[in-house]
Every structure is written in structure tokens, then in C-alpha cells.
Structure 1
Amino acid sequence: MKAQVLLALGAAALVGCQPAELAAPHSAHETPAFKQFFQALAQHCGQAYPGGLTLEPEGDDMLTGTELLIVHFRECSDEQLKLPFHIELEASQSWDRSRTWIISRHADGLELRHDHRKADGSDDSTTMYGGFTVGEGSAITQQFQSISRTEESGYFRGWRIEIEPGVRYTYGTVRGDNWSWRIDFDLTKPLAEFPPPPWGHD
């Protein structure tokens, strides 16, 4: 998938699906792209937004595409953002509140971790996996590499997050240059009521 988007903070248009996106070199006085990206996410702190499945690999039945999905920009600091991801379970009329995306800012880039919990709040058997940003990225797109998955497959694998402030938040997995799994949230429609805390969080 290739989609041209405008940089949120005034850079040139770019194609948003390269595994190691590069922006123009920044001057000593220009904010690095990863910091602009983090700031763009932080603009939505304290809000929750609806979304849905956009793309899923063939044979993957985690979602049907009809569920309501919610991202909540719930916990924010200057160095870390915690975004719970809530999944409506239509069959049981309940919610899966097991997942929280954690995005941390370091001196030279960003780190993405996936905090997975069981309903009782304890850690899932697979949790806190993730990776660090690769390349410069841009103010609206950053990619995070899974070293183990990349080494196993022989091509880039990891996660891509896009943010157009006030418009769209997108999260998904990538294989090579392409999305393999993707969900989109509508930032033009903040929810009037926030979801409860994710499992394992107060």
C-alpha cells in the first residue's frame, strides 16, 4: 500500500510505506522527526476514539471486521504514552481490554511495547514484545522493527504507526514494504464517554 500524506508539521509529501522512511536531514535547531511524531500523538492525550479493522491477513480470524475498536490516549508523560486498545466482543456483548500500546521516547528514537494482560490483571504468556524505530521516519509515520521476526523471515517485519492529528490514527503490522494487519481510528470523532481502565491498570 502506498499513500501520499502531508507531514503534520510542514514537511514535503512522502510515500508512507517504506520500511525505513527517511526524511530530509534536520538542522541543529529543527526538532527530529521522531519527536514531532511523539508530540503529534500527545496532542490527543485524554481522549478516546472509535475505529475498525482495515486489513487482516488471509486466515487470521482475530477480528471479523465488524467490531467496534477503541483507542484511548489514557496515560501521558513527557517520555511515555500508554494507549489502551479495546476490542468489542459482539458474540458475548463484552470487551477484550487486554492490550495497551506503550510508546516511549528515548534520546535517539522511540520504542514500542505491547502490554498484554489477562482479565485478572496478570501478565499474558506473551507480553511486552516490540521494538525500536528504524530510520528517520517522519512526523506522521514511524516504523518499529521486530529483530527476531526480521531475522526469522529474512525481510523487514515489525509495526507501523501513523498519526494525522485531528484526522486519523493508524496502527498495524508490516512485512517488507506492505501492511499485513491494519486498524484505523477516526480522530474527528472523540468519544463522549471513556472506556474503563484496561485489565491490570488502575
Structure 2
Amino acid sequence: MTPTNTQAKSIGFAAALLLAGCHQVTDINMEQSTAADSQGFEQFFQALAQHCGNAYPGGLTLEPEGDDMLTGTEQLIVHFRECDDKQLKLPFHIELEAEQSWDRSRTWLISKHNDGLELRHDHRKADGSDDTTTMYGGFSVGEGSAVLQQFQSIPRTEESGYFRGWRIEIEPGVRYTYGTVRGDGWSWRIDFDLSQPLSELPPPPWGHD
């Protein structure tokens, strides 16, 4: 179901607070995020799973110059929709202000293996069929931790000569952050406020019952 105007205002207010406070949120330093526990990825997986069944509002916090995927004014929603011991499915809903509708084409798939995690991007068309570009992603790299995991895009890394991929951070009950990484820093980033679960859940993403 599509959020009501009241909900949209509430989402917008939460997103505005999130964006306004983003300068106070220090990126988790990789040295701090390195866990001595070799199973940090399992703790990370469980930290995400704590939010299963809930959806949360968010907003754009960083976008490269010239990138027009988002304007920064849209309402964004992450839904921790499907969870089991091996895989989490998190639909990512984007408000289309001009069309007064929602893009429900994207679902993040996070799978747990014996030695780490795997991130895939399930992209669908409105009729439920696979998009031209779908299921791209990569495996977790480095030590990682219970609050941060990075996933490498091998093709993009080989093409550029420096690390490229995705970073996900989780502070249970506080924030969920997803973005792309070039080298050591964010190149694109969105943050969701985990302290503000939505009272009404969004409908299934395209192609999912």
C-alpha cells in the first residue's frame, strides 16, 4: 500500500532530521570496524535480521556530481521483508515525485555463506520480469565487523585499478546505511532511520509476491 499524505510528511520529517544530522554522524573508521572475531559477518547478518518485518524511512546523504538517480527530496523506504537463516531480502522503494508513484524495482539480497556474505541487487520491471541489469553484486571482503561490511565488484575494481564496490553499515535501532565505495570513501550513500519504523508497510516489490 502507498503511504498516505500524513505518513509521507512523517517520513519526510524523519528523513530531514536524518539528513540534518548526517554531519554529526562520523563514518565508522575501518580500523575501528575490524573485528577480532572472525565471525563478525554472522553478527552483522544477525544485526540486520533484528529488524525483520519492519520498514523504515530514509533519504539521500551523498551523490556524485552529475548523478541524477535521486534528487535528494524523494522519500525512500527500506523494508526488511523476508528473512531466514541464510538470506535477507530488503526491498528498496523510491518515491517518484513527478509521477506521484513509487519505483519498487529494487531488492537487496544479502546471503550468508560459511566464510562471509554475498550482496546481490535484484532489479525487476513493473511486470515482474528481470530488468536488463540485475543480480549484480559481490562478496564481502576484508575482516569486516558486526556493524560494517564491504562487498567488492571485481569487474569495476579491475577496470578502475582501485577498490570499487558497496558498503553497508548497521547500528541496530539507530541507522541502516547503504552506498557505493570508490577507493576508501563513499561515492553514493543513503541512510535510513531505524528508530522510526513505519506504521504501514509498503506493498511487495515488483516481481515478488
- What TM-score, normalized to structure 1? 0.89
Give the secondary structure class of the aligned counterpart of 1:39: helix
Give the secondary structure class of the aligned counterpart of 1:148: helix
Q: 2:176 aligns to what?
A: 169
Query: Residues 165-189 of structure 1, C-alpha deviation per residue, up to 9 Å, x if partnerless?
Result: 0000000000000100000000000
- 1:158 is matched with which residue: 145, 158, 165? 165
- 1:49 is matched with which residue: 36, 56, 62? 56
Give the secondary structure class of the aligned counterpart of 1:198: coil
Whether 1:143 aligns to 2:150 is yes
Give the secondary structure class of the aligned counterpart of 2:73: coil
Whether 1:22 aligns to 2:34 is yes
Q: Aligned partner of 1:84: which letter?
A: P
- 1:108 is matched with which residue: 104, 110, 115? 115
Q: Aligned partner of 1:62: which letter?
A: M
**Structure 1 Cα separation of the partners of residues 194 and 27 of structure 2:** 19
Q: CA deviation at 1:23?
A: 2.3
Q: 2:26 aligns to what?
A: 3
Q: 1:9 aligns to what?
A: none
Q: Structure 1: give runs of 5+ residues left out of the alignment.
A: 6-14
Contact 1:17 1:178 in 2 (8 A): no
**Structure 1 Cα separation of the partners of residues 31 and 51 of structure 2:** 24
Contact 1:49 1:72 in 2 (8 A): yes
The 1:17–1:151 alpha-carbon spacing in structure 2 relative to 1, beyond 3 Å, is farther
Contact 1:98 1:199 in 2 (8 A): yes
Give the secondary structure class of the aligned counterpart of 1:71: strand
Give the secondary structure class of the aligned counterpart of 1:99: strand
Q: Aligned partner of 1:138: which letter?
A: S
Q: Structure 2: give runs of 5+ residues left out of the alignment.
A: 1-22
Q: CA RMSD in A?
A: 1.7
Q: 1:86 aligns to what?
A: 93
Q: CA deviation at 1:126?
A: 0.2
Q: 1:197 aligns to what?
A: 204
Contact 1:3 1:16 in 2 (8 A): no
Q: CA deviation at 1:99?
A: 0.1
**Structure 2 Cα separation of the partners of residues 186 and 90 of structure 1:** 21
The 1:33–1:198 alpha-carbon spacing in structure 2 relative to 1, beyond 3 Å, is same
Identity fraction in percent: 82
Contact 1:57 1:180 in 2 (8 A): yes
**Structure 2 Cα separation of the partners of residues 113 and 123 of structure 1:** 13
- 2:191 is matched with which residue: 164, 171, 184? 184
**Structure 1 Cα separation of the partners of residues 128 and 58 of structure 2:** 25
**Structure 1 Cα separation of the partners of residues 198 and 155 of structure 2:** 37
- 1:38 is matched with which residue: 28, 32, 45? 45
- 1:76 is matched with which residue: 83, 86, 92? 83
Query: Residues 110-164 of structure 1, C-alpha deviation per residue, up to 9 Å, x if partnerless?
Result: 0000000000000000000000000110110000000000000000000000000
Q: Aligned partner of 2:201: which letter?
A: F
Give the secondary structure class of the aligned counterpart of 1:36: helix
Q: Aligned partner of 1:196: which letter?
A: P
Contact 1:72 1:83 in 2 (8 A): yes
Structure with greater proportional helix content: 2
Q: Aligned partner of 2:122: which letter?
A: D
- What number of residue pairs does the alignment pair up? 186
Q: CA deviation at 1:16?
A: 4.0
